Amino acid sequence: MSTTDPDLTDPDLTAADVAWDLEPLLGGDTVEQLLDRAERLAEELTNLKGTVAELSATALAEAMTRFAELAEVQGRVGNYVMLRLTEDVQDPERGAALMVVQERSAAVGAQLVFFELEWAAVGDERAEELLADAQLDFCAHHLRSARRYRDHLMTEPQERVLAEFEPSGTSAWVRLFNDLTSAVAVELPEALGGTVGLEQGLSLLQHPDREVRATAAAAVTAGLEPGLRTRAYVFNTLLLDKATDDRLRGYPSWISARNLANEATDDSVQALVEAVVDRYDIPQRWYALKAQVLGLDRIADYDRMASVADDESTIGWNEATEVVLDAYQRFSPELADIARRFVDERWIDAPVRPGKQPGAFCAYTVPSHHPYVMLNWTSRNRDVLTLAHELGHGVHAYLSRGQGVFHQSTPLTLAETASVFGETMTNAALLERIDDPSARFALVAASLEDSIATVFRQVAMNRFEDAVHTARRDEGELSTERLGELWGSTQRRMLGDAVELTDGYLTWWSYIPHFIATPGYVYAYAYGQLLALSVYARYTERGQSFVPAYLELLRAGGSSDPETLGRIVDCDLGDPGFWASGLQLIDDQLDTAVRAAKDAGRITAD
């Protein structure tokens, strides 16, 4: 590993040549041809209108097979234009192509609204009789889950209108927000890279030099300022849109629709949130310890991600991929072989580019194709864990393809299981390779901080969302100052007196895409992290005998409800004590970090 700042001319450090190949998604067709095929399939399916309640199991299976074909076609073309746009969200041609697909797909969806409504109206006894037939195994859980929305569906004309307006409504605002954040310019001194994108600016918050961190934080705040009012308006509009939709559909709270999609009850999610909030002492204790390690009385917000390593090393793409693949190999050669295909067969897009969407994600695409991973590689050590995380999503998506289009994807509450597990494996493998006490402490600290960010920070963001959605419904449009006030108060509750929040940090809510595109999403990170840590604990207890059960879980995709899937790996998600036991694992990580800090001489031993 290098200990200097990244050499932006080195293709290995920048992953300059790591670009995905999206053309196979189209399967030899054009976007227009796939859209035409989708419309023909939809036209055929409209012949079912008025007959759903009378379908036999055989006829229903035939209909669902056609719906699966339609979903495959739309999934191919939709993922193709979406992934192309993430490469450069400022390209008007790519944006226009996405809008064409969204508009024509919305029209298809509007045609087929009748099916969901008629299926929801089928009596419970008749529905269960149909779903018990083996012919419907490939879609049974999907159809059963769809019936959960019965109390929140409107009439067919109303549902059609909403479907028709989707491309010019929520989707359009989300796209605008992504365009705005992707265009944020962070003006740094030339020695730190000059003018860079938001992702690169934020990555400097990991720098060991506090002056660099403070400079980067100030530059990020300055970069967010020009479009702050516009992003606040986008947020306000979507908050109102959701409030209206929730009211019309009769959801009791802002989070209820998300919980229903996650196959979780409002009470169970509240139990998770309360359990995490009750252990806010964990991040506060860590940040107090980190202040000692950094030689500060108290850290500031821009210090929270600071590396505790003696130097800030960088890592090239080739070394990073071998580290991750070796960790996967030690757990399961099958998983490693799949992960290596992402690296070798152009299933990853890694470099930072002007206009590229910030962040990282895995796109499942469709079961007949393979997934794709998008990264923004900055050659920092944490990027290695991001790679391990997204490859976890990737192998999960790949293994669950056999479930078909209806059951490949899990609810969001289980979506992070394999990704966090992959990160944890990689951390464990790296620890075994390191003898130097300081390096070991740095890695232990990074693992703990990931857990804190994924559990406590995400729940704090859930508390921000809760406050914002409630305030928007009670107070009307929220000013940027009010949004900053709510952001600051929910962050301070989690951080306590251990972290000083600067004034600039109060605007940093404004670049987080989850609040815009997937309201209510963030608690799923905490759910998934605690589940994954519990799953990993089972592995450390049982060794290789645990691997088959874990692979069975991944292959199961979303073919059953979360509690049933959890039982595959001996996790009882219905146990009220489950979350407390998961949080104890993070407390144990903190104890390990304290010991490692003492061994490294970074704090004084008691």
Yes or no: say if 366 and 389 are a contact pair by the CB < 8 Å rule: no
Query: How confident is residue 578, by pLDDT bands cut at 50, 70 and 90?
Result: confident
- The confidence score (pLDDT) of residue 209 equals 92
Dist. CA 78–CA 75, nearest whole Å: 5
Burial environment of residue 104 by CB neighbours within 10 A (0 to 12, 13 to 18, 19 or more): buried
Query: How many angstroms separate the CA atoms of 142 and 146, rounded?
Result: 6
Mean pLDDT of 514-535: 91
CA 519 to chain CA centroid, nearest Å: 12
Instruction: Give dist(CA 327, CA 427) in Å, integer.
Output: 8
Question: Which residues, including other chains, have CB under 8 Å from residue 472's CB and lie 6 or more apart?
Answer: 236, 239, 240, 243, 478
Average pLDDT, integer, range 281-300? 96
Is 50 exceeded by the pLDDT of residue 3?
no
Lowest-confidence pick of 210-214, 427-431, 489-493, 582-586: 427-431
Confidence of residue 199 (pLDDT cuts 50, 70, 90): confident
The answer to whether residue 1 scores a pLDDT higher than 60 is no
Instruction: Identify the top-confidence range among 219-233, 251-265, 421-435.
Output: 219-233
Per-residue pLDDT reduced to its tens digit, 292-329: 999 999 999 999 999 887 655 688 999 999 999 999 99
Write down all domains in the chain, each with its CATH number in brackets: 23-175 (1.20.140.70)
Beta-carbon contacts of 514 under 8 Å, excluding residues fewer than 6 positions away, are 461, 521, 522
- Give mean pLDDT, residues 115-139: 97
DSSP of 579-600, one letter per residue?
A: HHHHHHHHHHHHHHHHHHHHHT
Mean pLDDT value of segment 276-294: 96
Of all residues in the chain, what percent carry a pLDDT higher than 90?
79
Q: In the predicted model, is pLDDT for residue 606 greater than 70? A: no
**Residue 2: predicted pLDDT:** 46
Mean local confidence (pLDDT), 139-154: 94
Q: What percent of the chain has pLDDT over 70?
A: 98
Location of structure tokens 């959801």:
251
**What pLDDT sits at residue 528?**
86
Higher pLDDT, 380 or 329: 329
pLDDT digits (tens, 9 = 90+) for 434-445: 788 988 898 899
* Phi, psi angles (nearest 5°) of residue 380: -85, 160
Length of the chain as a residue count: 606
> Does the pLDDT value for residue 423 go beyond 70?
yes
Instruction: Give the ranges where 250-280 is alpha helix by DSSP (H).
Output: 256-261, 266-277
Looking at residue 380, what is its pLDDT? 80
pLDDT at 109 over 90: yes
Q: For 52-100, how does the pLDDT look when each residue is reduced to its tens digit (9 = 90+)?
A: 999 999 999 999 999 999 999 999 999 999 999 999 988 999 999 999 9
- The predicted pLDDT at position 10 comes to 86
Q: Which residue has the higher pLDDT, 547 or 1?
A: 547
Report how far residue 193's alpha carbon sits from residue 201's, in angstroms, rounded to the nearest whole number.
9
Burial of 396 (0-12, 13-18, 19+ CB in 10 A): buried
Q: Quick one: pLDDT at residue 264? A: 86
The H-assigned helical ranges of 302-344 are: 317-331, 333-344
Q: Which are the contacts of 176, defined by CB distance < 8 A and separation ≥ 6?
A: 234
Of the pLDDT bands very low, low, confident and very high (cuts 50, 70, 90), residue 358 is confident
